[in-house]
Amino acid sequence: MMNEVRGELFLRRLPPEIRDGLSPAQQAAIRVAAGQGHERERHRIDLEFGLPTPWGRYYVAIFAGPERRSSGRRGSAQRRRDTHWRPLMTTGNGSTHIIRTTCLGLLLLAALLLYETVVQP
C-alpha cells in the first residue's frame, strides 16, 4: 500500500503541465517505478515514540539493522580503521570527555570555595 502512496505523491509533485501531458499508461508506470525499491528499507529494530519533556514533546526514532550504506558514505578508510581499533577514542568522544571533565572540575572548585566561605568563615 505504501508503494502506491509513494507513487501518487511523486506524481503530485510534478508540475501540472507535465502531469497533464502524461498518458494513463505513463502515469501508471511512474506510480509503479516511484513505489519500487522501498521494500528493503525496513530495519530489524524500528522504535519510534513521542517523549514528553518540560520543553515540549520530542519525537525519538531508533533504527538498527545491517549496514547498507556504500563505503563512500561510511567515512574515510583512516577513520574506519581508527574507530575499529579504538571505537571510543574518536575526536567527538575525546572533546566531549574533556569538556565534561572541565565542567565537573569547575563545579567541584566552586563548591569547595562556597564551602570555605560559608561554612568555615
For residue 64, is it within any domain? no
The answer to the question of residue 45 being in a domain is: no
Single-letter amino acid, residue 55: W
Total of domains in the chain: 1
On whether residue 7 sits in a domain, the answer given is yes
Domain assignment of residue 114, yes or no: no
Tell me whether residue 82 is in a domain.
no
- The answer to whether the pTM exceeds 0.95 is no
**Of 38, 59, 56, residue with least CA distance to 47:** 59
Give residues with Cβ within 8 angstroms of 27, minimum separation 6. Answer: 11, 19
Long-range contacts of 22-26 (CB under 8 A, 24+ apart): none
Residue 25 lies in a domain: yes
Domain that holds residue 31: 2-40
Q: How far apart are CA 7 and CA 22, in angstroms?
A: 14
Question: Which segment of 11-20, 55-64, 72-81, 85-94 scores lowest on mean pLDDT?
Answer: 72-81
pLDDT band at residue 109 using 50, 70 and 90 as cut-offs: very high
